[in-house]
Every structure is written in structure tokens, then in C-alpha cells.
Structure 1
């Protein structure tokens, strides 16, 4: 018992310092999670992507400050810690330059805002709807429900095509008819099909006209506009089906590619 009392008297100051440091660290962790949730909820009401990004930055900053404060309470020289962190940060920056480049690109995306959550993007050959912009990557939900994850650096260095920046989007389709077909009749049939599809916007005015005289057919281009909230694939499919039925009913041929070969005997 006397040994325990002597031990307590000798180390009680160290115990209270350790307890205080632990309390500061746990309080900092709690504050980091609390601030992340509150910032995300507060800013997320106006901009979900911006709220998510800022909340992550705030979380990391609070954790770092809490850790340094807790170590300072233990008697560790914080100036030395900051110097070590600076040196280590430089080393890590050189080793992880691609990741830091993605971080910087993420900040650029947040500031410039070329797109927002829910926008339909085309990044190279991949298209999908934006789900989130995080510290290091941007995620897109593809039409087949797969999740594509792009490093922010790749997003900023590539060409970003925002398909939902305007209220309407254009669909273009080319159909070929035989050379014996009457051009005005074909135009009238195709225009009538367009008028009977409710999802197609009548402003701007749909375009139907000859755009090419190919080797096997007269090619008509159809350019129509639809609202961004309408399924573009369904409307395009319906347009093709209805045009095929209408041309068949009118007895107008949709030719396939032909190659005439003449054999000469000499």
C-alpha cells in the first residue's frame, strides 16, 4: 500500500498531464466530426458538392491542430513538430505529387464550378451523371449504374463536356432512302413523325433535310431538341422506330450498301 502511495505521489502530475492530453485529443476528434457534419449540412443546403468538400478540409485541419495541441500538452516542442511536419510534408509531396495535383485540381473544380451534382458529363469516351467531387477524385454514375472514379487531375486536364448546362439537348440521326424516292414526300413523312412525338420540343424548330448523296442512298439528317430531364435514349429509339414504320407504309425503300461488280471477258 505504501508503495502504491509513493508511486502515485511521484507520477500523479504525469498522469494528469496524460489525461489532459488525451481529453484534448478526444475532444478534437469529436469537434472534427461535429464540424464536418454541421458544415456539410449548412452549406449542403445550397450546394451539396461544396459542402462536402469544405467539410472534409475542415475535418482534416481540426484533427491536425488537435494532435499538435495534445502533443504540446505532453511537453513535446510543437515548433519541432511543425518543422518535422514541414520536412516530412515536402518529402511526401515529392512522393505523392500526383495525389497532391489531384487535390489542387479538386480545389480548382470547386472554385470554377464547371459542373454540379446531377449534371450529365462526357469525359473522353465516358459519360455519366456527377455524384460527388471529393478531395482527390470525382465520381460519375454511368447509364448502366456502374460507378466511374476519375482523379481530379485527369478531369481538369481533359475536355469536359457538360450536356446539361442548357435546358435542352439536341439529337441527330441520319436515314438513307433510295434514289427513286421523292425528296419532298420523304421530308413530309419525317416531319409528320416528329410532330406526333410529344417529347420532341417544337422550339427550336426540328430540322429535316438532305445532307448527303451517298453511293447507295439519299441521306436525310434529322435534328431535334428535347428537354434535359427526358430520357434521350428512349426518344431516339422511338424516333427511329416511327420513321422506319412510316417509310415502310409509304413504300419508300431504305437501301443497304450495294457494290456493283462487272466482269469483262476479253
Structure 2
């Protein structure tokens, strides 16, 4: 299975508009972070988790020519705003794109993209087939997804375990039963927003503690803000087997 980090930034991305901090002005390409998303390639399928505002550019940058499905973690704009740009795949593949989401997220998609789901279809609009996620495992082709419910302050958000790979974004707290679903994973991706306390995201210290608790062979931090610090500087503060993800990073797991 190939995992490509399409974006590793938080809701504003990095650099942040009009910010002159040392991270936002850094020449290091690893400090340029689009909104968080990953692409999974396995068993002949190409699947993207979340299509945020940068989805179009992420597809172009990664030279994606085919897409089978989008899986949504939750309904915040930095995770769904780019869904309109699946139109190119509709046209190229001559088919609708499967969209996997909870019923709550589906309702948000219907509000945000009302024209997609209207009875009167305007020519050229995105074509999607909604697939409902609950907390039960589901398959896309031969790829098994195991949903993991985490709390983003008071909002339930889904992470996913696919084989020995687990991807979690926008987590602040995770219950013990859900942690048990993660235990034994070999490659963990978890959000680490910033150094300072935050109401709805793991901080740097909290993410390290969680990574140590899970004990994966390798852990990558994502959903990173400019307040975390420069990529190169933060690497020196991380324990063994924990590192920062960056846009364009490719893993074979």
C-alpha cells in the first residue's frame, strides 16, 4: 500500500495569509503545508481521505489520473471544500465517484453542495454516489477500512485503520475502546497542531504522549499549524520513531 501525503497543514494552511513569522517565511519546502489529506493506492484502487480547499492543486501536484473514492473524516470546510473538483474525474472516467461519509457529514455535503444533489441537474456538475459510514468496518474493493471515532472538542470525527496503517486527524481526545482499535498498528499518523494548549486538537506534547501510548513502529505528525515551528527545528525535539510528515511524503506500508 502506498500512502501519499497530499497536505499536512491545518485549516489555514502554511504559510498563513499575511503572516510574516519565521515558519510562514521559511524557504524550506517542508514548511509549505496544504490542508490535510492523504491518498491511498492499493489493490488497484486510488482513494483520497478528505478533499479540502486545496484538492484541485493536490491532484495536479501528485499527477493523479484516476480516482475511485473519497472518504470523509468530518464536515469542516478544510476537509470537504474541494469536492466540486471531482468533476474532472467524472469526465475522464465517465462515472460517478463513490463518496464515503457518515449520515451527518452527508447532510453537510448536501447543504454545502446543494446543486450536486438537486433534482434538476445542471450540466457538468459533480457526480457522486453516497456510501454511508457507521462505526462498522467497510470495504472499498478489497481494502478494508476500520473507522475509529475520536473527539474534535465536542464533534465526533472519524479516523481510519487500513491494515497496519492508521490515519487520525482533528483529534483532541480518544476513548479507551477506540484506542484498542489502534493498538498494534505499525504506522500511525496523528495530528499535532501546535505547542500551546488548544481546545480541539492534540498539542505537540499530547501527540507525543499518544504516540508513545500506541507504540507504533513509526509515527508521523500531520495537521500542523505555523505555531508548531519550523520543520527542521521540530525534528530535533522528537523522540525516536516519531517524525513530522510533509506535503509530498510517500510511504510504502
TM class by shorter chain equals under 0.3
Decide which structure has greater helix share. 1
Larger RCO (CA within 8 A; separation ≥ 6): 2
Larger radius of gyration between Structure 1 and Structure 2? 1
TM-score relative to the length of structure 2: 0.21
